[in-house]
C-alpha cells in the first residue's frame, strides 16, 4: 500500500446487472466498504468504486425474451444494486455502468491504441464456444465434450476474430507475481495463479462478431464486431477515473485493492494485468480473492431455493449485525457457510452480551452517578492498564487491515470490549459509590470506562458505521467517528468532561428464543416466495423446464373464502378459511398489502390443495393461494365466470 500519497483506491467487481443481488455480492461490497472507511479514519482521501456489468449475451437474451431494448432492460435492473448498497450503508464514491458513455469512450480509446501499436491482431479461429459463459475453449479444455466451467454444451465455431497478444506477457507476469509478494492474496490463491501461468499462456480473443452478439461496445477499428464482455468490463477500474492521461498523472491509479471473489481471480490476475502491461500502466498493489459463501453447506442457487436475500436480512436483523457477522464469521480468504442460527448466535453473544453490555452499563452508571455528564478524569494514573490495552492493540489492528484479516481485527477489537467490561467488574463503581473514599475514585473510573467505549466506537466504525455513530452520539461526541480519527485511540482523553450524554437508539437487543422461532418462520415463507418468479424484477429469469407429469402432480382447486383476518405483527400475511368442497382449509396468504380482509370474504380463489402444510408466523397454512404481482401490487388469480367450489383447475 502506498501510504505516502494519502490517497487510497479500492474496487469491487462490477456485478452482472441481470442477477438479483444476494449475500455474495453484499459480502465483497461490505468488505470494500470496511477498508474504505478505515482509510478515511486514517485521514486518506478514498476513491471507492463499484458498479454494474451490463453488456453481453445474457443481457441480450433476457432483453429479447422480454421484447425490450437491452438498454431499457439494464436501465431498469441496475438500480437493484444501488438500492441495496444504500441500505447496507456502503460509502462508495462512484458507481460505474459499462453502458455509460464515459466508460465506452475509454474502452474505444484503449482498443484503438492497442490496435495501432500491434497489440491486437485479426486471425481466423476455430474452437468450441460456450454461449452462456461467453468463452472459447480448445478441444483439450472440454470435459466430456462440455464446457469445463459450467458443464453445459458447447458449439463448434469457426470465424475471424480479434486477439490481444496476451501470451507474450506470461513470463513477465509470473515474475511480477513472484517479486511482489502482496500482489495476489491470499498466498494459496497466488500459487494457483502461478500454477496457471506455468503452462504457456495463449492470446485472448477480445471480439465477438455482431452477427452473433450485438449488445456490446463496437470495436473502433471494425464495426462488424463488438468487444468481449470481460475486456470491456475490466477497463471499468480505470474508465471511472477519467481519461488515460488522467489515470497516468492523477492520484488514484494504481488501485490499492481490487477485491474479487475467487471465481474471477484468473480474469483479474491474468487478463487485467496483461492488459495493463500492454497499456504501459502500473499494476494494482493487491488483488485479493476472497472465499465463497455457501448456505447450509450448499451453493446458493435459485433452484435450491436457498439464495440469501440481503434486504430481508436487513429487515430482520439490522444492517450492522449483518456487516459484523459476514466479516467476523470466517477468514476473508476462506470459504464460509451461512446459517441464520450462527448469525443469531453472534448477535446474542458478541453484540448484545459484550458490546451492548459495555454500552448499557456505561451510560446507565454515568446517568446514575454523575447526573448524565462525562465526569472529570482527574490526575490519576490508575487508567494505564486500560489505556495501554487499547494502545497496544492498534499495531495489530493496522496489520490486520494490511492483510484484510477482518475476522482477526474484530477478534482483537472484541478483546478490548472485554477489557472495558472487565475494568468495570474489577473497579465495581457501584461499591465506590457507597463510601466517601470510593467516591473520589468514582469519577476517574467512570471517565475511563466511557473513554474505552468511545475508543471501541471509533474502532468498530469501519464495520458498523451506524452503531459507531450512535454510541458517539450517546456519549455526547460531536462530529462523528471520522472526525475522531484512529490516532485518538492511543491519544486517549477524547471525551470532554462535563459533556452531557444524549439519548440514543437501543442497540442490539437480544434475540430471544420465541423471536427466533418467528424469524425462522418468516425466513421459510420468504424462501417459498422467492422460489416463485413473481416480482416484476425477476420475471426476466424463466424457471427451468419441468415435465407434464410434474404439472399434473399439482392438485389445484377452486376455493371460496369464508373468513379472512390479518395476521398480528405481520404486514403481509392474511389468515383465511377456505372452502374447497371436500373440506375447509386454513390458509395463510401473503396478500395483505393489496387486499383488506373484508374484501376477501366470499371471493373465489385458486388453491394449491396438495401442498404440504407449513407454519407461517406460527400459524399452520394448509395450501397456497395463486396470485400474480407487478410493481408490488398483488392480484388474486380467478375466473371470468363462476365455477363450483372444489372444482379442479388444470
Nearer to ligand ME8, 59 or 424 (CB): 59
Check residue 16 for interaction with ligand ME8 (CB under 6 A): yes
Contact pattern for ligand ME8 over residues 261 through 290, marking x by CB under 6 A: x-xx--------------------------
Check residue 310 for interaction with ligand ME8 (CB under 6 A): no
Q: Segment 231-250, which members bind ligand ME8 (CB under 6 A)?
A: 233-234, 236
- Where are the strands (E) in 105-203, listed by range? 120-130, 135-137, 155-164, 184-185
* Residue for grid cell 469519577: 443
Please state, in angstroms and as integers, the Cα–Cα distance from residue 27 to each residue in 34, 163, 291, 453, 573, following that order: 11, 34, 10, 27, 30
Figure out which of the listed residues 27, 81, 225, 401 binds ligand ME8, where binding follows CB under 6 A.
27
Q: Segment 136-195, which members bind ligand ME8 (CB under 6 A)?
A: none
Figure out which of the listed residues 9, 19, 74, 207 binds ligand ME8, where binding follows CB under 6 A.
19
Check residue 407 for interaction with ligand ME8 (CB under 6 A): no
Q: How far is the CB of 45 from ligand ME8 (least distance, A)?
A: 24
Check residue 227 for interaction with ligand ME8 (CB under 6 A): no
Question: Residue with CB nearest ligand ME8?
Answer: 24
Q: How many residues bind ligand ME8 (CB under 6 A)?
A: 20
Check residue 330 for interaction with ligand ME8 (CB under 6 A): no
Q: Of 188-196, 205-213, 256-264, 478-486, which part binds ligand ME8 (CB under 6 A)? A: 256-264
Check residue 14 for interaction with ligand ME8 (CB under 6 A): yes
Q: Of 111-119, 260-268, 320-328, 642-650, which part binds ligand ME8 (CB under 6 A)? A: 260-268
Please state, in angstroms and as integers, the Cα–Cα distance from residue 566 to each residue in 375, 517, 570, 577, 604, following that order: 51, 20, 8, 12, 18
Check residue 90 for interaction with ligand ME8 (CB under 6 A): no
> Could you tell me the three cell numbers for 542?
424463466
- The answer to whether residues 162 and 118 touch, using CB atoms and an 8 Å cutoff, is no
- The answer to whether residues 231 and 203 touch, using CB atoms and an 8 Å cutoff, is no
List for the chain the helix, strand, coil content (%; round to 5): 45, 20, 35
Q: Of 12-20, 72-80, 86-94, 169-177, which part binds ligand ME8 (CB under 6 A)? A: 12-20
Q: How far is the CB of 259 from ligand ME8 (least distance, A)?
A: 7
Give the CA diameter of the chain.
93
Give dist(CA 49, CA 142) in Å, integer: 36
Nearer to ligand ME8, 15 or 492 (CB): 15
Give dist(CA 338, CA 345) in Å, integer: 12
Q: Segment 40-69, which members bind ligand ME8 (CB under 6 A)?
A: 53
Q: How far is the CB of 409 from ligand ME8 (least distance, A)?
A: 19
Check residue 333 for interaction with ligand ME8 (CB under 6 A): no
Q: Residue 575 in 3-state DSSP? A: strand
Dihedral angle over CA of 312, 313, 316, 320, nearest 10: -140
- The answer to whether residues 553 and 601 touch, using CB atoms and an 8 Å cutoff, is no
Is the backbone peptide bond immediately before 577 cis, with ω within 30 degrees of 0? Answer: no
Contact pattern for ligand ME8 over residues 502 through 531, marking x by CB under 6 A: ------------------------------
| Angle, CA 637 vertex, CA 635 and CA 640 arms, to 5° | 115
Figure out which of the listed residues 8, 25, 162, 383 binds ligand ME8, where binding follows CB under 6 A.
25
Nearest to 447 by CA among 498, 483, 481, 487: 498
Q: Of 17-25, 384-392, 447-455, 603-611, which part binds ligand ME8 (CB under 6 A)? A: 17-25
Q: Of 19-27, 71-79, 160-168, 353-361, which part binds ligand ME8 (CB under 6 A)? A: 19-27
Q: How far is the CB of 232 from ligand ME8 (least distance, A)?
A: 9
DSSP annotation of 546 reads: -
Give dist(CA 324, CA 351) in Å, integer: 9
List interacting residues with ligand ME8 (CB under 6 A).
13-16, 19, 24-25, 27-28, 53, 233-234, 236, 260-261, 263-264, 292-293, 300
Amino acid at each position: 500500500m502506498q501510504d505516502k500519497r494519502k490517497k487510497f483506491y479500492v474496487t469491487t467487481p462490477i456485478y452482472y446487472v441481470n442477477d438479483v443481488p444476494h449475500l455474495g455480492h453484499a459480502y465483497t461490497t461490505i468488505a470494500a466498504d470496511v477498508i474504505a472507511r478505515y482509510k478515511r479514519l486514517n485521514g486518506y482521501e478514498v476513491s471507492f468504486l463499484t458498479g454494474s456489468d451490463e453488456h453481453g449475451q445474457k443481457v441480450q437474451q433476457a432483453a429479447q425474451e422480454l421484447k425490450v431494448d437491452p438498454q431499457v432492460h439494464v436501465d431498469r435492473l441496475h438500480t437493484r444494486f444501488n438500492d441495496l448498497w444504500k441500505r447496507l450503508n456502503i460509502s462508495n464514491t462512484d458507481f460505474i455502468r459499462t453502458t455509460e458513455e464515459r466508460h465506452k469512450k475509454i474502452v474505444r480509446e484503449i482498443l484503438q491504441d492497442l490496435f495501432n501499436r500491434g497489440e491486437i491482431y485479426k486471425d481466423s479461429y476455430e474452437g468450441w464456444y460456450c454461449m452462456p459463459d461467453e468463452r472459447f475453449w480448445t478441444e483439450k479444455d472440454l470435459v466430456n465434450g462440455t464446457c469445463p466451467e459450467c458443464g453445459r454444451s458447447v458449439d463448434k465455431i469457426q470465424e475471424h476474430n480479434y486477439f490481444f497478444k496476451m501470451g507474450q506477457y506470461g513470463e513477465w507476469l509470473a515474475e511480477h507475481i513472484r517479486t511482489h509478494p502482496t500482489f495476489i492474496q491470499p498466498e494459496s490463491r497466488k500459487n494457483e495463479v502461478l500454477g496457471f501461468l506455468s503452462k504457456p499462456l495463449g492470446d485472448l480473443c477480445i471480439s465477438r462478431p455482431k452477427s452473433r452478439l450485438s449488445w456490446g461496445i463496437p470495436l473502433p477499428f471494425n464495426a462488424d464486431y463488438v468487444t468481449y464482455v470481460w475486456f470491456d468490463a475490466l477497463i471499468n477500474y480505470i474508465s471511472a477515473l477519467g481519461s488515460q492521461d488522467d489515470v497516468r498523472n492523477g492520484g488514484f491509479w494504481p488501485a490499492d485493492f481490487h477485491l474479487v471473489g475467487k471465481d474471477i481471480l484468473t480474469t483479474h490476475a491474468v487478463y487485467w494485468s496483461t492488459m495493463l502491461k500492454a497499456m504501459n500502466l502500473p499494476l494494482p498493489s493487491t488483488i485479493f480473492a476472497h472465499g465463497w459463501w455457501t448456505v447450509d453447506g450448499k451453493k446458493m442457487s435459485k433452484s435450491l431455493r436457498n439464495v440469501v436475500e440481503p434486504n430481508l436480512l436487513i429487515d430482520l436483523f439490522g444492517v450492522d449485525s449483518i456487516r459484523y457477522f459476514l466479516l467476523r464469521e470466517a477468514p476473508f480468504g476462506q470459504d464460509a457457510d451461512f446459517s441464520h442460527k450462527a448469525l443469531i448466535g453472534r448477535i446474542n453473544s458478541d453484540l448484545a452480551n459484550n458490546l451492548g453490555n459495555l454500552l448499557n452499563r456505561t451510560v446507565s452508571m454515568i446517568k446514575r452517578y454523575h447526573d448524565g455528564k462525562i465526569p472529570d478524569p482527574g490526575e490519576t494514573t490508575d487508567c494505564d492498564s486500560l489505556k495501554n490495552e487499547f494502545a497496544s492493540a492498534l499495531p495489530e489492528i493496522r496489520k490486520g487491515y494490511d492483510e484484510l484479516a477482518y475476522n482477526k481485527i474484530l477478534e482483537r477489537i472484541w478483546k478490548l470490549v472485554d477489557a472495558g467490561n472487565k475494568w468495570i467488574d474489577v473497579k465495581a463503581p457501584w461499591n465506590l459509590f457507597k463510601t466517601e473514599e470510593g467516591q473520589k475514585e468514582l469519577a476517574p473510573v467512570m471517565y475511563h470506562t466511557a473513554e474505552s467505549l468511545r475508543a471501541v466506537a471509533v474502532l468498530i466504525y469501519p464495520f458498523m458505521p451506524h452503531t459507531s455513530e450512535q454510541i458517539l452520539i450517546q456519549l455526547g461526541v460531536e462530529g462523528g467517528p471520522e472526525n475522531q480519527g484512529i490516532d485518538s485511540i492511543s491519544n486517549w482523553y477524547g471525551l470532554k468532561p462535563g459533556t452531557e450524554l444524549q439519548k440514543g437508539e437501543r442497540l442490539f437487543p437480544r434475540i430471544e428464543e420465541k423471536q427466533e422461532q418467528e424469524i425462522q418462520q418468516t425466513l421459510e415463507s420468504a424462501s417459498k416466495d422467492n422460489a416463485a418468479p413473481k416480482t416484476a424484477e425477476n420475471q426476466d429469469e424463466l424457471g427451468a423446464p419441468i415435465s407434464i407429469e410434474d404439472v399434473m402432480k399439482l392438485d389445484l382447486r377452486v376455493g371460496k373464502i369464508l373468513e379472512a383476518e390479518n395476521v398480528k405483527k405481520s404486514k403481509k400475511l392474511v389468515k383465511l378459511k377456505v372452502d374447497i368442497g371436500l373440506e375447509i382449509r386454513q390458509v395463510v396468504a401473503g396478500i395483505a398489502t393489496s387486499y383488506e380482509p373484508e374484501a376477501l370474504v366470499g371471493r373465489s380463489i385458486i388453491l394449491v390443495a396438495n401442498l404440504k402444510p407449513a407454519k407461517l408466523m406460527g400459524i399452520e397454512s394448509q395450501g397456497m393461494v395463486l396470485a400474480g404481482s407487478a410493481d408490488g401490487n398483488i392480484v388474486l388469480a380467478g375466473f371470468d365466470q363462476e365455477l363450483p367450489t372444489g372444482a379442479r383447475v388444470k
